[in-house]
């Protein structure tokens, strides 16, 4: 049976029971997409009862994330596996570092290899990029936030990776926070009317409103939204917005943010910086799974 360790403490705390069930279903569907009726190559070459050992390796420097998915993926295919962990989510790893050693049926290890690595490389890439942004804004107070620009059906995992990298989660979907954007404002006929309509129907939800100009910031603050999003403003404009609002609402910078500009944006005094690139443009971290079939089973 799988060896339980404290390696997955953050994973266990982040997700509730329903979310863990969803993740298992997600991994199972991904495996079904890849394996289909069976891995014809592996099953033609490897005896069905063959046992194997594998090492999960980092091939570049970065922040590793998603390791608990190894147990989830393997458990979909077999109960007869053992994992010895040498790293945990959120750890900084270096090239050649062994993250885990796995023992189990050779066929199962080979069948889950690609899907497992796809998840781990993707999530580790997001965590690594997020950590770079978090480090870049020190010592300023601005929190690095994600967005809804995520891979369809993988949002729950990608937002987890942002947290592992030291960032914070923005709203998860259209249901858990009000965000009045430019299209809403234009259709409603202005910021004031858009906020009035929201207040009438969603008084219990957090309200954030997008402002494209300093004038819109001044108009929005009269209605006391919890957050004002400064959309594509210059650092000079952001400084003026911070001075005007004086803490009456949190200010979030968005648009044109990258590793070269983020420190200057944070220095304006904004509370939050949302960055779509954390999840839509993070380069995958290079990992590998080296599998060795027991000699007597070859």
Catalytic annotation present for 16: no
- Please give the helix or strand (H or E) that residue 56 lies within, else none: strand 51-58
Residue bearing tokens 């885990």: 100
Cα separation, 136 vs 152, whole angstroms: 28
Catalytic residue from among 20, 24, 53, 149: 149
Catalytic annotation present for 192: no
If phi over 0 gives left and psi between -120 and 50 gives alpha, with beta otherwise, what is residue 90? left
Return the closest-CA partner of residue 185 out of 150, 225, 149. Answer: 225
In degrees rounded to 5, what are phi and psi of residue 83? -125, 130
For residues 178 and 204, the answer to whether their CB atoms sit within 8 Å is no
Catalytic residue from among 148, 155, 168, 181: 181
Neighbouring C-beta atoms of residue 297, cutoff 10 Å? 14
Catalytic annotation present for 39: no
Measured between alpha carbons, how far is residue 273 from residues 105, 150, 255 in Å?
A: 46, 17, 9
Catalytic annotation present for 231: yes
Give Cβ neighbours of residue 11 (< 8 Å, ≥ 6 apart).
67, 68, 89, 160
Half-sphere exposure of 76 (CA within 13 A, CB side): 22
Catalytic residue from among 101, 103, 192, 231: 231
Catalytic residue from among 111, 210, 252, 271: 210
Cα separation, 164 vs 134, whole angstroms: 11
DSSP helix, strand, coil percent of the chain (3-state; round to 5): 45, 20, 35
Catalytic residue from among 20, 55, 59, 114: 114
What is the set of active-site residues?
A: 114, 149, 181, 210, 231
């Amino acid at each position: 049976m799988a060896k339980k360790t404290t390696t997955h403490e953050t994973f266990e705390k982040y997700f509730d029971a329903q979310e863990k069930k969803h993740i298992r279903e997600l991994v199972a569907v991904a495996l079904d997409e890849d394996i289909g009726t069976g891995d014809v190559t592996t099953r033609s070459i490897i005896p069905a009862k063959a046992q194997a050992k594998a090492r999960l390796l980092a091939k570049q420097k970065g922040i590793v994330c998603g390791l608990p998915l190894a147990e989830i993926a393997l458990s979909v295919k077999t109960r007869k596996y053992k994992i010895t962990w040498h790293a945990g989510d959120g750890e900084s790893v270096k090239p050649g570092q062994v993250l885990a050693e796995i023992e189990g049926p050779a066929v199962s290890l080979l069948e889950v290899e690609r899907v497992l690595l796809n998840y781990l490389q993707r999530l580790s890439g997001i965590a690594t990029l997020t950590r770079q942004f978090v480090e870049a804004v020190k010592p300023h107070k601005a929190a690095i936030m994600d967005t809804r620009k995520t891979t369809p059906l993988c949002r729950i995992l990608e937002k987890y990776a942002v947290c592992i990298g030291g960032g914070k989660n923005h709203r998860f979907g259209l249901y858990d926070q009000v965000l009045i954007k430019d299209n809403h404002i234009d259709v409603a006929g202005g910021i004031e009317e858009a906020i009035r309509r929201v207040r009438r129907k969603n008084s219990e939800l957090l309200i954030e409103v997008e402002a494209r100009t300093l004038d819109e910031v001044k108009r929005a603050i009269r209605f006391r939204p919890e957050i004002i999003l400064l959309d594509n403003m210059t650092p000079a404009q952001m400084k003026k917005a911070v001075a005007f609002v004086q803490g009456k609402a949190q200010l979030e910078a968005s648009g044109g943010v990258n590793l070269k500009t983020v420190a200057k944006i944070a220095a304006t005094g904004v509370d939050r910086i949302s960055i779509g690139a954390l999840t839509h443009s993070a380069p995958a971290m290079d990992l590998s799974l080296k599998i060795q079939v027991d000699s007597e089973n070859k």
